[in-house]
Structure formats: structure tokens, C-alpha cells
Amino acid sequence: MTYYVNSKAKINGNGTKAAPFKTINEAAQIAQAGDEVIVAPGTYREQVVPRFGGTGDAPEQRIIYKSEKPLGAVISGAEVLTGWKKYKGDVWTAKVDNGVFGAYNPYTTYVCGDWYFAATVRHTGCVVLNDRMMYETTSLEECLAGKADPCAWDQKESQFKWFCEQEGEAPELQYNDDGTVCPCKAEYVVNAQAKEIKRGRYTVFYCNFKGLDPNKQKVEILARRNCFMPQDNGLNYITVNGFKICNGATTWAPPAAYQDGLIGPHWSKGWIFEDLEVYNSRCCGISLGKYRDEENDMYFYTKHLKSPTQMERDAVCRGQYHGWTKENIGSHIIRRCHVHHCEQTGIVGRMGGVFSTIEDCHIHHICNSQQLGGAETAGIKLHAAIDVLIRRNHIHDCIMGVWLDWEAQGARISQNLMYNNQRPDGREAAKGAMFSTDVFIEVGHGPTLIDNNLLLSKVSITIPSEGIAVVHNLIHGSFSLINSGVDSIVNGQREPRYTPYHIRHRTEVAGFMTILHGDDRIYNNIFAQISPVTDKNKTAADADYEVVGTAPFDIFPTYDEWIKNFMMDREPDMGPLAQYHFGHLPVWVGGNVYLNGATVCKHEKDKLLVPGKGKAKLNLKGGVLKNNLNELLAGYTTGMITTKLLGNAFEPEQRFESREGSDITFNQDFFGNHRGAAVVPGPFAKLEDEIKVL
């Protein structure tokens, strides 16, 4: 069955081509496996809440929602706000009856929760001027001043301010027979912070439009929490194709809480998100995230009593009880999507994104306003990225590129272009803001693959983890948080973070362990010190270390140095071996090229060190990488890297292999071109002075 939707239809029909529905959600209440919903161009100001899912991965088993014209159908979580009146200077005012928000008022709900480190002063709503989110102030005086925010990445945009307040008496709450509040009459309190919120009859907006007349511009307010997301778990095999999805009053999405976004599958299996443009989310764009667990939702924030790390371990174990298996959850595909201008993450997901693929996406300008701050901000931020494949993406101008936190077991980050994932020079760090890097693998045990990427930001790879293989990359930035960033000192004693590892290619937990550090493989990369070192006191234990190269791995043993401690030639004695069970793991380094003074690990034998600084010229402009690598490498070649060579990650005892369990031979480069017998280090099988990478 094919259903048709057209917001411009004269009257609401029955979903036929001759008499289409006027809203997508009408079709979403009846579309079932095998059905297709075709949506005509237009703006759909609604929240689509699918009622049914598909029954399998085949097209005839799916439910497919498709924009008739690519990016022609826009699902917006915003409402147009008109009737602006001049208040003072460049500031105008308008107000809206809170009834328009229904059960969820973004202007009496704050961004807050677990792992949120900024002050709880920003609302989940926002004012949008000509498709750009404005900057919220905490006072009318600040709005009137209209000064640039010293932390904002775009100083000019940050002068466009908004402020809101409540006016009048809110309608009395109406109660159902069972004592619950009628959702159509009362504000739905999303976050625990709401205990001090004043509810009124109206929300009054004040906006500094910097000389623009808002009555002649497009001014919208975020009004709905999501644009396309089921209320129930387990609605599987839905395809969403070709829409613009924008302007949602999403909430902070920490890993041990219900994680929403503009669009998401809400704890299900087999969704396909393709050819979408997703933007202007107050928090997250696409959510592959966690369900709401009533007994562990925002546990630290609401109850305060247990360590937040304990809460995260509990979330993993409770997830097993709540159906977190390969058969039920994950295996989503996000492809050819353009995700930008979201203020927490472009793509988020705790546990719900396992076995998924994120490919050929353009992700940029994430967490740039710096109005929100906490430990969950990146272009892509996933917890438990088990067997997740992140490939051929273009990620830039984000606070971080890709952040895989906990359990990145079997994850592969391959053939991506990343750059400018860092604060602009001279910009202050906002309160609660994270550091910046292209790739951050946190407290994982591996095996995790980072291969054939261009990592061109000032910090390229941050790994307070173990079991990482870094193969055939072009790396302009440093390694950071080496042998660091894992444990805490509390009450004068070390409190280690121990995290799970899993049955191979499954979600079932195999064990928990602290991070011993090491167990890394670094092969066939090109390291070039492009940015200057401005602080020589920093070390690789710091998040913003500036020195490029592999010298930080000098502190780890070679395999031979490590294995000789374990009495392999006689019966073991637990007492003497205890110190080695908690010592550093070995590293393997070889076949790398070092340019412009990049440092070299003392263990590396097979390498090319080009002496001198400033000899390597690398410049990415207009999608073309201009370089002199061919001249500097001067025919240097090295060996082919394979699954067999990389061996097993120590804790899970799992090979660096494909998620199907097959061997990987790293004989394909950044473009997918074949590497022959003469293997050139770096991401390109063939070096040229100008390489078109976009």
C-alpha cells in the first residue's frame, strides 16, 4: 500500500494520491510492513510518531517514508512567531500562549542532567532567525547589550541574542481519575531540574536582531521535542529517505538516560536514515540511543548517591535484562546524511547503535555556540559502539569529530576526512566545555580500528584506552591522554574505572576490567607536525598535547619485554605475577613516516624519519590536498598489514577483524583503491602532488 501526504492539499483526504493526507503523522498511524509513505514538498510542522514497524530488512518488509522530491519535504519542530513589537534599541518582543506547546514547554524546561557541566540556565527551546539558532541570555540586560560571546566559535552570530520569561498565571492543573496530570493541560516535566521552574500563561520573548526587522525575516521558535521518533520501543525496519528534519527542542542526552534527537529509532532494530539533512537541534540530531529505564534514568542527577561511573555500568547490565541483544537492537544504517548545527551531537547513541553503519555523511558545526557543555559533545558520540562501522564521512568544525566512549569493541573508523575539530585560535573555553580532537576512544578494551583516515586537526587521536590499531592514516595532530584520563583520585586514593568487554560480536558482557593502557598497534602512518608547539610543558598525558608522533608510547614495553615476566617456562605463582597483571600492556610500532620533527617511538625499527622541520607542505583547500609527500617519501615502502599481523586485543581476546569475523587485509586505501605489493605508508596507495579528497 502506498500512502500520499501533501500539506498543500485543499482538504484532508484518505491518503490516496487523489486525496492525500495533510500530515505525515496521519499516515504514520496506519502504515505497516510493506507500505510506503510518499510526502510531497512542503513544510510539515508536526511530530511524527510512528505506530508500527516493519517485519524484516527486505524492502517489501519495511515501512518506507520518502520525500517525493529530495529534501523537498521539511519536518520542522518549530512554529513561526510573528507580531513582533519594538522594545528598545535592537531588541524586539513577542509573546505566545503556552497552550501551543501542549504537554511539553521548552521555555520552562532546562538543558541539564548527568554529565552536563555547564550552568543550568539554558532552555531546551531556542529562537531561530533565518534558519540559524540565536544565542540565549540569562537576563534581559544581556540581551539588550547584544555583545559577542567570547566562547562562541562564530563571533558575529553570537551577537544575535534572545531571552524569555513567563507571564500571567498558568491554568490550574487538571487531574485524571488515577491522580495523574492530564498531559494535554499540564507541562510535561522532562528533567529533574524543573522543580524551581515558574509556569505562566504566556512565554514572552525578547530578541536582539541587530538592526533587522523580525517582521520581514523568518523567525521561528522551537516548539516540539522531536520531529520523527516512535514513543514505543521495538518498532523495527523503518526507512526515512530524503527529508529535511530540523528545529527541535531536544533534551540533553547523557548515556544513562532516555536519549532523544530530532529523529531516532528509540531502541529498535534495522532503521535506515538516508539522504537526510538534519540540523538545528538544541541538543542531538540523530539519536541511536538508549531507552528510558525508570530505575536508572538520570540516576546520578536525580539521586546523587552513587558514582556516575557505577550508574553507567548498571546501565549496561540492566540493558541485558531489557533485551539488549544483536537480535533485537541496532544494525541501523545512516548514509549520505548532512548533519549540522546541533548543539550537543550530530549523532548520539548509548547501546542502541550496536552493529550499525554510519557512512558517506557530512557532519559539521556541532557544539559551536558553546552555550551547552558537558561530556557528551561531538560530531558522532556513541557509547558501546560494538561492531559499528564509521566510514567515508566528512567531519569538520565540531568540538570533537568522533567520540567512542566505553565498549568500542569491534568498532572501525575508516576512510574519513576530519579537520578543524578544534576551537578557533584565541577562543576561550566555555564552562563545562570538553577538549577537542578528531578521534576520542575512551576507556575501551578494543579491538578498535582507526585506518585510512585523514586526521588533520591539532589533536588527532585521544586514547585513554587499550587495544587500538592505528593503520595507514595521515596524521597532522598529536596523540593525547596517553596513560591518562581514566582513573580518579578520591579521598587520597585511586578509584579506577573498570568497564565491560563483551562476547565477540555480541552484546552479552564477558567481563569487566580497568584500563591497563597499551595493547596498541601503530603501523604505516604518516605523521607531520604542521601546527606549532606553543606549550612545551604539556605532555601526552594532557588532552591538548601539541607534539605529533609516537614518542608517547615509549613508556610501554615491547611484547618480548612484557611476556618474559609471566613465568611461561614453569608453573605460575600468583603472588609474584600480581604486579604484572596490573602493569602496562605492550605496543607494536612500525612502518611509519615522520615529517617536520614528528617524534619517534624508541621501539620502532622499520620507519622513515625525514630530518628537518617545515619540509612537509600539506594544505587542504577546496577539497584538494596539496602536498609534497611523494618527494619526501622518495620511494619508501613498507609491508602489508593484516588481521594476522595485528593479533588479538588483550582483554576480549578478539582479533582485529571485520564484524562478520573475517580477516582484514589493509590493501584498500582512502578511496578504496588497491594497494599492491609495494605498500606506501599513509592513506593513499599512490601519492600525487594534488589529491582530490572530496
CA distance 110 to 307: 23
pLDDT (0 to 100) of residue 642: 99
Lowest average pLDDT, out of 138-142, 184-188, 395-399, 557-561, goes to: 184-188
Q: Which helix (H) or strand (E) holds 203?
A: strand 202-208
Q: Does residue 604 carry a pLDDT above 60? A: yes
132 part of a folded domain: yes
Q: Rounded to the nearest 5 degrees, what angle is found at the Cα of 40, between the Cα atoms of 100 and 79? A: 20
User: What confidence category does residue 336 fall into, taking pLDDT thresholds of 50, 70 and 90?
Assistant: very high
Report the CATH number at residue 129.
2.60.40.1180
Q: Count CA atoms closer than 13 A to 572's CA, side-chain side.
A: 11
- Comparing 81 with 190, which gets the higher pLDDT? 81
pLDDT (0 to 100) of residue 194: 40
Place of cell 507500505: 35
529 part of a folded domain: no
pLDDT (0 to 100) of residue 180: 54
pLDDT (0 to 100) of residue 669: 98
444 part of a folded domain: no
When divided into structural domains, the chain yields a total of: 1
pLDDT digits (tens, 9 = 90+) for 401-452: 999 999 999 999 999 999 999 999 999 999 999 999 999 999 999 999 999 9
pLDDT (0 to 100) of residue 193: 41
37 part of a folded domain: no
| Residues 378 and 621: beta-carbon distance below 8 Å | no
pLDDT digits (tens, 9 = 90+) for 195-254: 446 789 999 999 999 999 999 999 999 999 999 999 999 999 999 999 999 999 999 999
User: What confidence category does residue 178 fall into, taking pLDDT thresholds of 50, 70 and 90?
Assistant: low
Q: Does residue 592 carry a pLDDT above 60? A: yes
Residue 151 CB partners (closer than 8 Å, separation 6+):
370, 427, 428, 429, 430, 433
CA distance 337 to 278: 7
User: What confidence category does residue 176 fall into, taking pLDDT thresholds of 50, 70 and 90?
Assistant: low
Domain span at 92: 79-222
Q: Which helix (H) or strand (E) holds 318?
A: helix 308-321
CA distance 54 to 572: 55
pLDDT (0 to 100) of residue 192: 44
pLDDT (0 to 100) of residue 198: 72
Place of cell 544494525: 331
CA distance 119 to 441: 27
HEC readout, 476-499: CCEEECCCCCCCEEECCEEECCEE
User: What confidence category does residue 191 fall into, taking pLDDT thresholds of 50, 70 and 90?
Assistant: very low
pLDDT (0 to 100) of residue 614: 84
569 part of a folded domain: no
604 part of a folded domain: no
159 part of a folded domain: yes
Q: Does residue 188 carry a pLDDT above 90? A: no
Instruction: Indicate the burial class of 622 (C-beta count within 10 angstroms; 0-12, 13-18, 19 or more).
Output: exposed
Q: Which three cell numbers stand for residue 48?
A: 511524527
Q: Does residue 175 carry a pLDDT above 70? A: no
pLDDT digits (tens, 9 = 90+) for 110-135: 999 999 999 999 999 999 999 999 99
pTM metric for this prediction = 0.96
451 part of a folded domain: no
pLDDT (0 to 100) of residue 519: 99
Report, as an integer, the average pLDDT of 368-387. 97
Instruction: Compute and round to an integer the Cα radius of gyration of the chain.
Output: 26
User: What confidence category does residue 171 fall into, taking pLDDT thresholds of 50, 70 and 90?
Assistant: confident
Lowest average pLDDT, out of 187-191, 243-247, 285-289, goes to: 187-191
Q: Count CA atoms closer than 13 A to 573's CA, side-chain side.
A: 5
CA distance 558 to 563: 9
Report, as an integer, the average pLDDT of 668-679. 97
Dihedral pair phi/psi, residue 397, rounded to 5°: 55, 40
pLDDT (0 to 100) of residue 199: 81
pLDDT (0 to 100) of residue 211: 97
Name the H helices within 103-184. 140-145
- Among residues 413, 422, 405, 340, the alpha carbon closest in space to that of 683 is found at 413
Q: Which three cell numbers stand for residue 362?
A: 557530512
**Average per-residue pLDDT in the chain?**
95
| Residues 654 and 410: beta-carbon distance below 8 Å | yes
CA distance 569 to 560: 14
pLDDT (0 to 100) of residue 295: 92
pLDDT (0 to 100) of residue 533: 96
Q: Does residue 69 carry a pLDDT above 80? A: yes
